[in-house]
Each structure stands twice: as C-alpha cells, then as structure tokens.
Structure 1
C-alpha cells in the first residue's frame, strides 16, 4: 500500500466551506488511488479558509499523477464548496500543486490538473486530450452567446445572475455590498427626501448645494468652484471621466462653419488655419448622438443633442472652448455659440455639451467599450480554453465577476425600469441607438491605446494625464504579457499551431463581435508579436481602461450642473437671453439629480473586495519563471505608482484614476 499526503485548501469567502461529503481520488499513469472521504474524526473539515491534510492510499505507486478528481455528494441539504487548490506529496518526496479555484455544486465531479500550463500540443497522451475536450464541451453548455441588442457585441445567455454558474458569480460579501450600496447611497448622501420630488426644479444653481453638501469628493469640491470656467470645461476632455473623445482638428468641417471672424479674438490675434498647422486646435464631436430619441420620464419628454465643440490649446497649455454648435447640420436655427455671448447663453451651450458627454460616456465608452467588450473576452475564454491553457491562466484574473456585473447591469441599470430609464435622457429607445452607433465605431486600433492616441492626433496634447499614465500602464502590461507568454510560445509557429488559441480568437470574432463587421480584429494569430499585442489590449481594456472611465464618475457628476444626466427642455435655436429660471427648467429636477448622485457614487466608489492589477490572490501559474514575471509586473506597477504620485504633488488637481492602486484587475463594478 502506498500513501500520498494531500493538502486541501477551502476558499476564504463566507459560505465557501461545506458540510457535504467531498471525496478525493488521485489519477496517474499507472491507475487510480482509493476514493477517499475528506473527513477527520471530531474535526469540522472544509470550513471557510481551512487548509487540511489527508492521507490518500493507493494499492500501487501511481507514477506521474495526472490529476486529482474531486467528487461532491449531498448530505442532508445541498451545500456548495469552493476549492482553492490542492497539494500532493508523493512517496518519493516530490510536491505537486493543483490550482482549482472552482465551486463544486450538486453531485459534481471535477478533475484538477497540475499547475504547469500546457498548450494543446503539449498534451500528447489521449487521456489528456480527452480531458481537455470534455472540459470545453461542458463549459460550452454552461456559457452560451446571446444577442442583447442588435449592432452591439454579444453577451452571456442568462436572464439574471441566478442563471450563472457559481464560478462566475459574486461571492457573498460582494453580493451583499452591491445590493445594498444604492440604498446606502441615498441614505448616506441624505437624498431620500428629494427622490420623490419629481418635476420640481431647483430655484438656482446654488440650490444644488442642498444635495451636494454631504459629498466628500475633493475633486467634486473643486468642480463646484471651477465648473463655469472655460479652461476647466476644456480640461475635462483630457482628464475627466471621458478622456477618449477629443481629437486634433486637421481642418474645420463643413458641418461646423466656424470662421476667423467668430473666434479670432480668442486665438490671440492668430488665425484658425495657422493654429491648426501648429497643432493647437482640437475638437470633440458627438455625432454618435445625432438623431437619438430622447427619453420620456413619467410622461415628460427629455432631450438630447449632438453637439460639436472647437477648442484651442493656448500658450499656458489650457484647452479653451472657442465655439459650440449643438446640432450636426448648420443652419439659421442652429447657431454657433461663442465665449463672447451672454453669460447664461454660453453657459447653457456648455451644459448641453456636458450632458451629451454624460450620455456618450455612460453608454459608449463605459458600457460598450469596456463592460461589453470585457464580457466577450470572458465568454470566449471560458468556452475555448481549458484551465490548463496558459492564456486561460493569464486572463482569468481579468474576467473576475464580469459576467455577473454585466448581467445585473442589463436588468437593474439598463432595463425598462432601471436607473437609466428613470433619469437619463438616453434611457429607453435612445439607449439602444447610442449603444449600436458607438459599438459600430469601434475598431481594433481604437482599442489599442497607442494606436488610438495616434489616430486621434493627441500624442502631443499637453497635460493629458490619461494619455501619459495610460501609456505607462499599457507598456507595463505589454512587457508582462511578453515575459509570461514568452515562456510558452518560443516561436511564431507555436502560436499558429495552437488550435485552442485560434479557436478562442475565432469565437471572439465570429460570435462575440458577429454584429460588429467593421471592428477589423485579427482573424487568426500568425506571430508572437501580434498575439502579445492582442492580449495586452484585452488586459488593458478589462483593467486600466475601465478604471479610467469608471472611477471618476462620482467626482465629475456629483455636481449635477457640470454633468447633467438629462435635459428637460430642447436645445436653444437662437441666442436670445437665457434666464436663471430657464436654466433650472432645463437641468435635471430634484429627483433626477438625487438619483444621478446616488448611482454614480454606487458605480464609481472604491470596491471593498477589489483585487488590484498586478496582484494575484489566485495563483493559476505555479512555475517559478511565471511567478517571477508576475513579480516583475508588480514591481513595475509600483514604480509607475511612484512616478504618478510624484507628478500629482505638483498639480492643483491631481489625476489619480490610473494609479495602479486604483486599478481593479477586472471589470467587477
């Protein structure tokens, strides 16, 4: 009789432990051990956070241990169990690690492979090949594609979070925090008494202080002081919560007939042509919003616009708005607003731009360009890559909780009775149109930050901290991917011959992006360089890019006039005098303002259980070289943290959304 020592580690979250019966069987090249019940006399086995050792006996030496089989049997009541990892000490004294990080549900059997990553052509034995195929077949039954809205990337086939497998669901702490936080926001911000005051306009801009005074955001306080100032309006296109739209202007478009006579005084005596050639003229264009239908909230029509804004980078590197047009087609009823207009006229024009930015940010750059894209990468990874595959091990930390947060968002935030429908101008019918147009504008290059910046011509835009910090993070991720994937793919041929990897990319393209024909993704991987860049894009999208467009929502939207979620009167068609009452009738009412504050706090606040980029609570890789690559990545992010912190010390308004300590590894909120 041969004895193996097996260490079993249970998950640390609440309810990770179990009172059901768990059996372990070691399977090796010479056969299988006895099926052993993990149960010690007078010991409460498999509690949350426990690490227990057990003896597993075999009639013969198993030789190479191929996998550990875990079997769960119901005892009295169903009680799921989460296994972190197993370790096996063999009679010869060697120690083997088997990463698991899975839930066992019902009467389920799970076979866990040893830690070292294996590509499909590494597993030459039929037993291993069969194991890989069976694992993927089971996953493809669990994780199926579905169309959410036509013209948008596909999502998981689940009506609610209850339909998801526990492996991709929130743990108990995360679930409780998420479900209670919106109600907590209304209470913490003392907003409850305003939520039911639908239709009541504020008396003045200052009256928004009635819901703002409890806010602790330092940036929010700065916004209150400076939001009317033109330089600050321009600054937000660089470093606000939507830094992705601004582009250098190569020529004044015909649809935006701005002339030197209109703006010459704002250019310091220069001309548009001269400043365009110097690279000092920039533009934001909300053409995606053109024709979007405004929401109807409790019977009252809401309004959206598709503005254009021209900006001048002055000698002090301030980005100053010099002209705004609120519709895409020029004409006598579509005036060009200028800084020289009456104060309230110019202020209202800027409010319309900020409201359009709120809509496009939430639906286009936040929902569609991070959440929905991240979901595609997550589903394809689950469907096409077995747990032993190096790319599965690389990407899984960056897909944590994404399926549940997106499923909840489609029901609770974006559904017919969700928050967006209740308070946002592009809720309802407009949401689908904006989501479709935004998604159809995506290209592979637009998702790769260096290419995106070059295409928008903003490489030289001064004090563009999203650009500066984002490139540092992109570079760190790129080096990390090259280091760790370079261990497994030594040549272009190995990339090309990895059929599981090619199937993963095919699933991303033909299923996930089936309704995005112009996205122009690679259809197959032909080189290591191409492959590594794609993985860098995936990780950046699911971590840093999401942080850049998510974490600042409350900072920039808690002062509602700076970022109105809706506009209750149509865009002006002339430059007549605008009274304070007209401004108040246009801005969100008391109820809408309160809900805007609550849900942006809910979405943008720091998460209590976040796992930061570059930290690895779940160790899928067990090889020393891979662990070294992970440690080098962490060290490089630490240095980036130091550099950004040092830069921020010299700024009146720091940019901290891409500090590594503020970047979650995955899209989990």
Structure 2
C-alpha cells in the first residue's frame, strides 16, 4: 500500500495537512500512545516544539449525512490523523482517531495495533480525503473557479482587451469540460454520486468549504506559510509550486505593468473593474471576510489576483489532477466508497473485514476507469506558457512571453535533473507536463 503520507505531500491532495504545535482538545492522543513511534529519547511535546508534528483534521465532514447503499446508510468518518517527521526525514502517520468526539467506541488507532485495524483506520481517513479531494480540491477549487474567472471574462472584456488576451488561453475547453463533468461526474447519476457521501453529501461538503475559502488559501506562498510547511523535507509540490508561482508572477507583472503604468489606469478601466466585481459577487458570493478583492485599487492587486488565476488554472489543476490514476486507481490506497462501518474496537477485524469494506469489483473498475480518464490529456494538449493563437500584436508582450517560456524551460530541466535522483520522481509540476488550462 502506498504510504498514506505520500498523498498528502507529493500525491494528489497536497493542500490539507498543517504543522501541529498543539493537539486539538478533541484528539485523545497521549504521550504514552505515541512514544514508541518517535525518535528515541524524544517526546510528543519535544517533537511539536521542533516542528516535526503535522495534523490532518477532517472536521468539515462532521455530521454530513452519508449516502445509502442497498437501503442502508454508509459511514463517513470525520477523522484526525497525526503525522511525525522521523529521523529519516519521512512523514509517518502515528495516530488516527476516526471521529471528532472521543469516546470508548472511537479509539485511537496506532501502527502497533493489529495490522488490519491500522489498515482500516488508514482506509477510512483516505476515503474521506478522496471525496474531499475529488469534490473540493479538484472540482471546486480548480474547475469551478476557472469557470467563474472565464465566464466573468467573457461578460466583462472585449476580445481586444489586454487582460482578455492574457487570461483567455488559460480557459481553453474549461466551459465544455465543466458542462460535461457536471453530468457524468457530479450529477445525481454521476460516478461521484456513488461515493460514501453521495450527490447530496458532496454538495454539502462543497458548500461548507466555499464558506471557509479564503483568498490567501489560493495563493501558494501564503498557503504554505499558514500551514507551517516551509521546512518539511522532500515536499516537491511546495518546491516546484513556489518556483512556478514566482515565474508566473514575474510574467504577469511585466504584462500588467506594460498596460497599466499607474494605479490610476487601474481605477479608470471599467472593464477590468467589472471583471473583478463579477468574480467577487458570483464566484466568492460577496464574502469580504475571506479577503477577496471586490475591486482593484492598485497595479499590485491586479498582478497578485491574475497570478492566482493563472496558477489555479494551470499549476494547481495539474497538481491535483495529473496523479489521480497513480494514487487512486488501486482501491485500498484511496477509494470514494467504503461499504462497511469503521472499526469501533480493536482486535475484531481481519482481512475478510477489509475485503468486505472495499468496493466490489464493478465499483472498483468504475472508479479506476474514472481516474484513468481524468489523468489523460488531449491530443492537442498545450503546455503551460504556450500561446499558439498569438493574441498579442505588440513586440513588448511577445518578448515577455518568450522570457516566460525560457524561465519555464529552465525549471523543467532542473526538475528533470532532480527527478533522476529520486526513487519516486515528482513529475506533476514539470512545466512541460502542465496543461495551459483546465481542459480535462
């Protein structure tokens, strides 16, 4: 089984764990429980002080009614998982609590428990994560955000507007794939509706996440800092992603400052203001508390927001989409559906329990086929930074595009070189492998 920790660093859902400097009061882990899995002579408190403890908390799933299966309700766990970076620099799970409120029927599962108990605990954590990844981090935070940006652009900008020329290549096929996906993927009869949460449950999960979504969570440098992940080792999503954020920002800054030499130019551009107003109102539902701009006042604000838009529709989508077959095609590693309830006492499970909990053959094949389809790419694939339509006529932006492409090419070479020394190469954020838009 691929390690549970891999999916949360360099797998398909790298945006959910955070540094743990203090255990949540509802997570009933004790020093005695986890001491055997820490460095000899260390303690839970010492490891937290050293910045070696990390947490995955699925509390936003708590209380969402699950789907029914053969007339009986399924079980979705809103669990907590504690990780430790060990002396070998490996991020390892060391304690799992499968529900938010501690109780006798909600024990802390440990790596020293019977093998199938620990396996089941990890499977339930990853089942919840799989649903969160598919509906929130993939569909909503890349596909549906891209749609918001695209529709607002179509409504606000004429095709000769420089911001239209800059943004629109990153929306290619987005409206088509989203329209198709709403039926085949997320609709009442779609593949995701066969998950443990079902169609109604996934809608509620997305609603909850949207109400908590912040501007800073979509801006990678701020996201990494807020989660305390600046120094966690071997975190290639962070390393490659931050480099790409800076390369995109440098390109966007050059183009935006070319057309908006001062803040007053930004103020006066009614079409630009219409675009951000549409995005704020219809995409982020006017939620000022979340930090999203309702209007642009400075060139700097336009640069940052446009960087986030291009990063979301290219880099972030590649990060959460491209590895789906690699990480989620094998059901024990990550599945949208678990058929049996989670363990409530230790020592009662067996491999028979595990097999009865996993989806049946037909369901497994359907989910695997979905991950294969989503990890494919079009025959007319356009990599990041490639603009075959040549919308810009002036020599200055054309030169900026060339410089952007050169920077991406240098990074691609560096990533290829790094990957040649890795046991498990991280290829998803190689610029040559990143699609220029959310198109599948």
TM-score range, shorter chain: over 0.9
Structure 2 stretches of 5 or more lacking a match? none
Report if the CA contact (8 A) 1:543-1:663 is conserved.
yes
1:441 maps to: 212
CA–CA separation in structure 2 for the residues paired with 1:449 and 1:258: 31
The corresponding residue for 1:462 is 233
1:307–1:325 Cα contact (<8 Å) kept: yes
Displacement of 1:604 in angstroms is: 1.2
Is the contact between residue 561 and residue 587 of structure 1 (CA under 8 Å) also seen in structure 2? yes
Match of 1:291 in 2: 63
Answer yes or no: is the 8 Å Cα contact 1:554–1:605 preserved in 2. no
Q: Which residue pairs with 1:375 in the alignment?
A: 147
- Which position in structure 2 is the counterpart of 1:14? none
| Counterpart pick for 1:429 among 197, 200, 205 | 200
Q: Deviations over 1:343-400 (max 9, x none)?
A: 1111111111111111110011001111111111011100011111111110000111
Q: Aligned to 1:347, which of 119, 136, 143?
A: 119
Deviation at 1:238, TM superposition (A): 0.4
Whether 1:281 and 2:53 are equivalent positions in the alignment is yes
Matches within 5 A, 1:40-51: none
Tell me which of 166, 175, 183 is aligned to 1:411.
183
What SS does the corresponding residue of 1:561 show, helix, strand or coil? coil
Query: Counterpart of 2:290 in 1: which secondary structure?
Result: coil
CA distance in 1, matches of 2:329, 2:74: 20
Runs (4+) off by over 4 Å: 515-518
In the alignment, which residue of structure 2 is the partner of 1:233?
Answer: 4
Secondary structure, in 3 states, of the residue corresponding to 1:568? Answer: coil
Q: 1:306: Cα distance to partner?
A: 0.9
Deviation at 1:515, TM superposition (A): 6.7
Residues in 2 aligned to 1:492 and 1:429: alpha-carbon distance in whole angstroms: 45
1:529-608 map, 5 Å: 529-608=300-379
Q: Deviations for 1:176-224, whole angstroms, at most 9, x for unmatched residues? A: xxxxxxxxxxxxxxxxxxxxxxxxxxxxxxxxxxxxxxxxxxxxxxxxx
* Number of aligned positions between the proteins: 439
The answer to whether 1:271 aligns with 2:37 is no
Asked if the contact 1:368–1:438 (Cα under 8 Å) also holds between the matched residues in 2, the reply is no
CA contact (8 A) 1:303 1:566 kept: no
Matches within 5 A, 1:507-546: 507-514=278-285, 516=287, 518-546=289-317
- In the alignment, which residue of structure 1 is the partner of 2:407? 636
1:668 aligns with 2:439: yes
Alignment of 1:393 onto 2:150:
no
Larger gyration radius, structure 1 or structure 2 = 1
C-alpha distance in structure 2 between counterparts of 1:606 and 1:411, whole Å? 20
Structure 2 distance, partners of 1:526, 1:515, is 17
SS at match of 2:55: strand
Q: Does 1:312 align with 2:84?
A: yes
Give how far 1:300 is off: 4.9
Residue 499 of structure 1 deviates from its aligned partner by 1.5
For residues 352 and 7 of structure 2, what CA distance do their matches in structure 1 show?
Answer: 26
The equivalences for 1:211-222 within 5 A come to none
2:170/2:314 contact within 8 Å kept = yes
TM-score by length of 2: 0.97
User: Quick one: distance in 2 between partners of 1:526 and 1:565?
Assistant: 44
After TM superposition, give the deviation of residue 428 of structure 1 in Å: 2.1
**How far off its partner does 1:621 sit?**
0.5
CA distance in 2 between partners of 1:320 and 1:416 (Å)? 37
Does the 8 A contact of 1:550 with 1:603 survive in 2?
Answer: yes
Distance in 2 between residues matched to 1:300 and 1:401, nearest whole Å: 39
Corresponding residue for 1:334? 106
State the shift of 1:569 in Å. Answer: 0.8
Shift of the alpha carbon at 1:560? 1.2
Counting only pairs closer than 5 Å after superposition, residues 73-88 of structure 1 correspond to structure 2 as none
Secondary structure in structure 1 of the residue aligned to 2:198: coil
Task: Note if contact 2:53-2:84 (Cα within 8 Å) is conserved in structure 1.
Answer: yes
Q: Describe how 1:6-405 pairs up with structure 2 within 5 A.
A: 226-227=1-2, 232-268=3-39, 269-405=41-177
- Return the offset for 1:577: 2.5
Q: How much does 1:619 deviate?
A: 1.0
Shift of 1:340: 0.9
Secondary structure in 1 matching 2:92 = strand
Question: 1:413 Cα shift?
Answer: 1.3
Distance in 1 between residues matched to 2:283 and 2:111, nearest whole Å: 45
Task: Note the C-alpha offset of 1:297.
Answer: 4.0
Could you tell me whether the CA contact under 8 Å between 1:235 and 1:318 is conserved in 2?
no
Q: Is the 8 A contact 1:476 1:636 kept in 2?
A: yes
- On the 8 A contact 2:284/2:292 being kept in 1, the answer is no
The structural deviation recorded for 1:251 is 0.4
Whether the 8 Å CA contact 2:76–2:128 is kept in 1: the answer is: yes
User: CA 1:279–1:251 in structure 2 vs 1: closer, same or farther (change >3 Å)?
Assistant: same
Instruction: Give 1:517 deviation, angstroms.
Output: 5.8
Contact 1:442 1:518 in 2 (8 A): no
Deviation of the 1:518 alpha carbon: 4.2
Gap change, CA 1:516 and 1:594, over 3 Å in 2: farther
Alpha-carbon separation, structure 2, partners of 1:380 and 1:608: 28
Residues 518 and 576 of structure 1, relative CA distance in 2, 3 Å threshold: farther
Whether the aligned pair in 1 keeps the contact of 2:195 and 2:337 (CA below 8 Å) is yes
1:270-297 Cα deviation digits (max 9, x unpaired): 1111111110000111112111222224
Instruction: Compare the two structures and name the one with the higher helix fraction.
Output: 2
Q: Distance in 2 between matches of 1:643 and 1:311?
A: 30
1:556-609 Cα offsets, whole Å, 9 max, x none, are: 011111002211011111113311111111111111100011011111123222
Compute the displacement of 1:298 (Å). 5.0
Shift of 1:403: 1.0
In structure 1, the residue matched to 2:273 is 502
Structure 2 CA distance, aligned partners of 1:649 and 1:385?
44
Aligned to 1:310, the other structure's residue is in SS state strand
Deviation at 1:520, TM superposition (A): 2.3
CA change 1:314–1:516 in 2 (3 A) is same
